A and B are shown apart, each in its own frame.
Chain A
């Protein structure tokens, strides 16, 4: 069974503080993604990665950094957290098929509150 695990599940941070959200996948997928979802909105892509050492900017990368130190792990880093970054963050891995569309496998989410 595909598994994507996010930590922590909940996080409260202070404005200006550094926040690191972690994601681990046991699917051996090359592709990994970070999305955020705000109430009443769809998921929006922040950063993604094609493999260890690779990071790419998504639709809304400003204020976020990403790190992919290994196949299994993909972190999202908020160097200077702001209240506007209060949201639910989802990590996903993708099976990167060449003959059909990639399927994403999502984690359960991290609820981040920046005070």
Chain B
């Protein structure tokens, strides 16, 4: 089947420190899925943070980066220096299907940035 695993349910980081949120995926339906990070800020709806459709490529947005690694089937989210405003829940997602529009989401990682 198709699935996404986020091992950390909650992460706490001090402001200005670096961050990595782990995401690994598994798929039996498609060789090269599309990969996404979505984010839910407090009081807001779920929104796209970044996406990558080509293996080996890196996506970036708002200081966050994620590289599509097909060898390790991973799509970890990284940021060099986090801010309090980055506190949110982050979801990794896998896009499969003939149009890559059938998404499988991970369980989410709640990031708390402490001042």
Measured CB to CB, the residues of A under 8 A from B are 4, 31, 35, 40-45, 48, 58-59, 90, 92, 94, 96, 100-109
| 24 A-B pairs with C-beta separation under 8 A | A4-B45, A31-B101, A40-B9, A42-B4, A42-B107, A43-B46, A43-B91, A43-B105, A45-B104, A48-B102, A90-B46, A92-B46, A96-B99, A100-B51, A101-B36, A102-B95, A102-B99, A102-B100, A103-B48, A104-B48, A104-B103, A106-B45, A108-B45, A109-B45
**B107 close to A96 (CB less than 8 A):** no
Measured CB to CB, the residues of B under 8 A from A are 4, 6, 9, 34, 36, 38, 45-48, 51, 53, 91, 93, 95, 99-108
**B101 close to A44 (CB less than 8 A):** no
A sample of 19 more A-B contacts (CB under 8 A), given A96-B99, A102-B101, A104-B46, is A40-B9, A42-B93, A42-B105, A42-B107, A43-B46, A44-B105, A45-B104, A58-B102, A90-B46, A92-B46, A100-B51, A100-B53, A101-B36, A101-B100, A102-B99, A103-B48, A104-B38, A107-B45, A108-B45
